[in-house]
Amino acid sequence: MEQNKQLELPQLRSTTSMELGCDARGYSRAGYDTSTWYCAILAGRHGPELNKMRETIRRVQEILSRDIESGDDQPMAPASVALKSKRLTFAWLEGEAQKRYCFFYLNSETSHDTCGPRRDIADVPRLFIVRYKRNTSEEDTEPKRKQGGIWGALQDQELDPASQLVAKFNGSDEIPEIIKWVSQIIKDGDSRDLPHYRTKTPDLVPEDGEPIWSKGVQSLPSTSTMKQHFRSFITKIYDLIGDPRIGPILLLAALMSFGTIWLRRSQPPQQSNQPDSTQPSHPISKDEMKARRRERLRNALNVEPSPSMADVEPKDAYQMPFSDSDSE
């Protein structure tokens, strides 16, 4: 039962990429000292075509895991030795959910048949191998950076530590042909001096089948994601600065702004449409103001005081005569 479990074709997820050795930021399943390893990935959308091809790759893995006779003349020897030494891993990728990751490796005109949303009735699963290689001397040596070049520093930090080379399978679905192709890729990757090319691999997105705690942790922005957003922001700024149209646009905006300010300051203060009845329609001179002040003072002196209640005699009033005692 344990052997059957090992022969199952695992799915490449964000939580299993490091464990399977299919991550340029990680290491091989063979250990940290292994500098070169491989990951054979079958990409496709869910459907009968993918299920059939998954069964074919599982059979390939089963055949390579068997004991074979020693000898370099065996066509499957390189792949079998790499699989047993854990330098080779087989996995499958859901091309619709992991479309960015899928398009990154299968960047061709026909990659839409494998990656992204379904556009046609028939899907085409595709097999490719990623060769990872770590250069220990390059990792130990600190890269030279230009003084004040924050842009170059960000680019160096974004690159994955392991280089990647991709080989795509274009043959038939026959098991012997697939085994021969995988063995030839591993043989060339171990013996030939291939270029050391480092890049930044897109992150695998969490899928519905993954644990909830894993989604919550991975939904938080990582350091690499924040650096990537910052780098794209700087790129947009550099693009705007280098655009020849940005100078005339800024000059036109400045002229319009200064023109608006000058027009507002040059216009007289606006008066109300309806004149105030208490205010005169024309300016008053000093002589008129003095004459009006003297007129108001004269009117105030000529006004008689208002009668009080005691000064007014009622019509039916009767004055009582004084007695003798009062007169005395």
Nearest alpha-carbon partner for 18 in 3, 4, 39, 2: 39
**What does the alpha-carbon distance between residue 82 and residue 184 come to, in Å, rounded to a whole number?**
12
Per-residue pLDDT of the chain (328 residues; tens, 9 = 90+): 445 555 689 999 999 999 999 999 989 999 889 999 999 999 999 989 999 999 999 999 999 998 665 444 477 889 999 999 999 999 999 999 999 999 999 988 888 889 998 877 778 999 999 999 988 665 555 444 444 455 554 454 578 889 999 999 999 899 999 999 999 999 999 988 888 888 899 999 987 655 444 445 445 555 655 666 676 677 777 777 777 888 888 889 999 998 899 888 888 776 555 555 555 555 667 778 888 888 887 777 665 555 555 555 666 666 666 665 554 4
**What does the alpha-carbon distance between residue 198 and residue 250 come to, in Å, rounded to a whole number?**
40
Contact 11, 41 (CB under 8 A): no
**What does the alpha-carbon distance between residue 82 and residue 197 come to, in Å, rounded to a whole number?**
22
Contact 14, 210 (CB under 8 A): yes
Per-residue pLDDT at 192: 87
Contact 185, 167 (CB under 8 A): yes
| Contacts for 53 with CB less than 8 Å, ≥ 6 apart | 42, 44, 125, 127, 173
Per-residue pLDDT at 243: 76
**What does the alpha-carbon distance between residue 170 and residue 123 come to, in Å, rounded to a whole number?**
15
Nearest alpha-carbon partner for 37 in 26, 50, 48: 26
Domains of the chain: 2-141+150-206 (3.40.30)
| Contacts for 159 with CB less than 8 Å, ≥ 6 apart | 198, 199, 200
Length of the chain: 328
Secondary structure in 3-state letters for the chain: CHHHHHCCCCECCCCCHHHHCCCCCCCECCECCCCEEEEEEEEECCCHHHHHHHHHHHHHHHHHCCCCCCCCCCCCHHHHHHHHCCCEEEEEEECCCCHHHHHHHCCCCCHHHCCCCCCCCCCCCEEEEEEEEECHHHHHCCCCCCCCCHHHHHHHHHCCCEEEEEEECCCCCCHHHHHHHHHHHHHHHHHCCCCCCCCCCCCCCCCCCCCHHHHHHHHCCCHHHHHHHHHHHHHHHHHHHHCCCHHHHHHHHHHHHHHHHHHHHHCCCCCCCCCCCCCCCCCCCHHHHHHHHHHHHHHHHHCCCCCCCCCCCCCCCCCCCCCHHHHC
Tally the C-alpha atoms within 13 A of residue 302's C-alpha that lie toward its C-beta: 6
Per-residue pLDDT at 142: 47
**What does the alpha-carbon distance between residue 280 and residue 322 come to, in Å, rounded to a whole number?**
62
**What does the alpha-carbon distance between residue 212 and residue 221 come to, in Å, rounded to a whole number?**
16
Per-residue pLDDT at 106: 92
**What does the alpha-carbon distance between residue 196 and residue 32 come to, in Å, rounded to a whole number?**
19
Contact 61, 89 (CB under 8 A): no
Per-residue pLDDT at 324: 59
Per-residue pLDDT at 188: 92
